[in-house]
Amino acid sequence: MLCPHCQFENPGTNKFCQRCGGALPEEVDAAEGSSRMDTGLSTSNREMDCVHLAVLSRQAEPFLNESQPDGNASFPMTVDASNQPNPSNQEKFDESSGTATNLSLLGLLQDGYLDPHHRYQLLHPLPESLNGSQELEVNVLDLQPSVPSSLRSLYQQAASEVEETIALASFPGNAYLYLELQEHYPSLSFPEIHDAWEQDGYSVVLLKDRTALPSLVSVCQDETILPLQILYWLHEMVTYWTILQPQHQCQSLLKLDNLRVDPEDFVLCLQRLYADPPDSLPTLSDLGAVWQTLFMQSQRTQHGDLFLLCRDLENGAVNSVDELRSRIEEIANRLRQLPDSSTALLPTESTLDKELMSSEKQLTEPIGEMPEGYVQSAEPDEAMVNEGDDQPTVVLPMQLISIEDAGRTITGRQRDHNEDSFYIQTDVKRVETKRRDDSQERIVDAKGLYILCDGMGGHAGGEVASALAVETLHRYFEENWQDRLPNEQTIRDAIYLTNQVIYDQNQDNARMGSGRMGTTLVLVLIHNADVAVAHVGDSRLYCLSRRRGLEQVTVDHEVGQREIQRGVEPAIAYARPDAYQLTQALGPRDEGFINPDITFFELNEDTLLLLCSDGVTDNELLEIYEESHLNPLLDIQKNLEQGLNDLVELANQFNGHDNITAIGIRIRVRPNLTQINRK
């Protein structure tokens, strides 16, 4: 059995690796897995996620890149561990007969598996020879879905290598390009790679199977799809083109069958990447021809301006991506002025405009550290690089796809009791409705209430205050939060009420001075993609996304920050001995002495929200460990609860002087395009 940690081949009876000692995965019965796929019965989402599209490509001779004056660089090509082309692979194909002369690969395929370790089982029989084909596609079933693929292990190893370019040389085929596109452009639906390797003169790449998704052509045939929606997809294609052109992969957009649409969020998806022919690099004219074919095959009647755009694009009259984008936006503006009220739901610019601004900034730099054989030969248009974030952009309303949460609190290494409290309540409703065209529409409606309090006042003080705050707030919102997100005054009233409850108890018990109990508060309310945040004290909310990175949403209510807001230099403000003394807290004083900060915002990309007590945020722990402990949690495949536990344990080692509490909320959103598709 192949060890997922060190790739050592162990006897099948072993439970632990003989080389590294790591636990080996349990074997999945191949016959059972095959029967599940062959019976035609419905399978679970987990089982469907185990099915992948395998692309077998005969390793080709590299072609020279015109932008390289010495002619030594090439794209794409296969490299071995020495970073040099492997000519021996080319000898395994008989050009005269057009068949593979190395029979080990074909023998393996006929044995029912794609790999020598029998992890990936073929779901369809294959011919005895490849009949001269350069490529072959086949579906396979992953019999060890819980085990990280060898490619993922290699990618993580490469990221930690000091000599990263040397580590990257071992990546098979264009696997690294797939991985980097996924990581750098998460808002776009680039092909998702699962595994890859080289074998007997062939490059094998396993991708998430999207062939079951409807093609762009078939979706455009639906009369309920409005012209504005089609225009949105064309705009997405321009975005893909801008990113793929420097990588010589624009051919991926010229094959209509490669263009799929996710029916849940109407996002344009690519099934796989196709390398550009070395002797005929695609141009915008080729893209225009594909658009013409799209309208012909879908039998759509084109809007007059859109017809002229496709004609001009095919004839070469549109010379730049910037000009093409401007023409699309002009057509969109004219379509919005039509009397059909449903088109008025589309904003001035699509959400892709904002995403493209972020993407184009990355295009000025190589995608990661590309191994030899991958070159950046094309520069983005100067007009695109000069675009700024200050340009007005109105995004589409967003819809919630999923929401997860987890929370944990510990006492810490130096305290003998825990004065922190937290509360999580999430209500998620999933509704499926049938539309007039017999298609199904899936809607996720979610409400989330998240409260974190850091108490003060010692035994029978701090923990009482934080618990009282949590109890008062969640009961208040049970009675005063129906469908819409509560407004600012409703939230403010809830906090004032909570302050009064704690204040009254201080008065009743005649607590004086430092003996008066109190608590900080950070409060988050979520309704679908809309978020409300309120806080008092120094407990914080952080927001993490791929485009914007880690951001501190709240500003601590403490003396140092108060002085900074008055214009004092930060170094001077925090030189005060009382710099970290709280200026606000719930309970010690009446409501005249508190003024909670309340903000509202909408999530326009997948986001991780973190509510933290100062036991987590002290000494800039989150900023220091953002890459290692936070960024991985944006991946939906990562276990959020385990990741939060790891973060709390890190804070215990790093800070440990205080109680430690954190709540994590992982939210996925997509543009709400279903509205504009209704007539």
pLDDT of residue 544: 95
CA dist 462 and 354 (Å) reads 45
pLDDT of residue 9: 64
Please, what is the angle between helix 321-336 and helix 227-244, to 10°?
A: 170
260: which 2 tokens?
Answer: 């799929």
Burial class (CB in 10 A: 0-12, 13-18, 19+), 436: exposed
pLDDT tens, position by position, 424-438: 999 998 877 665 555
Look at residue 504 and give its three-state secondary structure.
Answer: helix
pLDDT of residue 434: 62
Residues in the chain, pLDDT under 50? 21, 27-47, 61-103, 162-167, 340-395, 675-679
Contact 5, 152 (CB under 8 A): no
Contact 531, 525 (CB under 8 A): yes
CA dist 131 and 272 (Å) reads 22
C-alpha separations of 416 from 419, 454, 660 in Å: 10, 15, 13
Please, what is the angle between helix 175-184 and helix 150-160, to 10°?
A: 70
Which are the contacts of 213, defined by CB distance < 8 A and separation ≥ 6? 260, 261, 262, 263, 269
CA dist 497 and 504 (Å) reads 11
Domain boundaries, the chain: 42-182+189-208, 216-385, 398-677
Smallest CA-to-CA distance from 144 within 283, 57, 29, 244 is with 29
Do the strands 259-262 and 267-270 form a parallel or antiparallel pair, or are they unpaired? antiparallel
pLDDT of residue 418: 92
pLDDT of residue 638: 86
> Among the residues of 590-631, which ranges form H helices?
614-617, 621-624
pLDDT of residue 228: 79
CA dist 364 and 71 (Å) reads 23
pTM of the model: 0.54
CA dist 66 and 267 (Å) reads 34
Strand partners, 203: 57, 198
CA dist 43 and 348 (Å) reads 42
**Fold classified for 398-677:** Phosphatase 2c; domain 1 (3.60.40)
pLDDT of residue 75: 30
CA dist 605 and 591 (Å) reads 37
pLDDT of residue 154: 74
pLDDT of residue 29: 43
Contact 456, 419 (CB under 8 A): yes
Please, what is the angle between helix 321-336 and helix 304-314, to 10°?
A: 170
Q: Which residues of 599-624 are buried (b: 16+ CB within 10 A; e: fewer)?
A: eeeebbbbbbbbbbbbbbbbeebbee
Roughly how many angstroms between the first and final C-alpha of the chain, as a whole number? 56
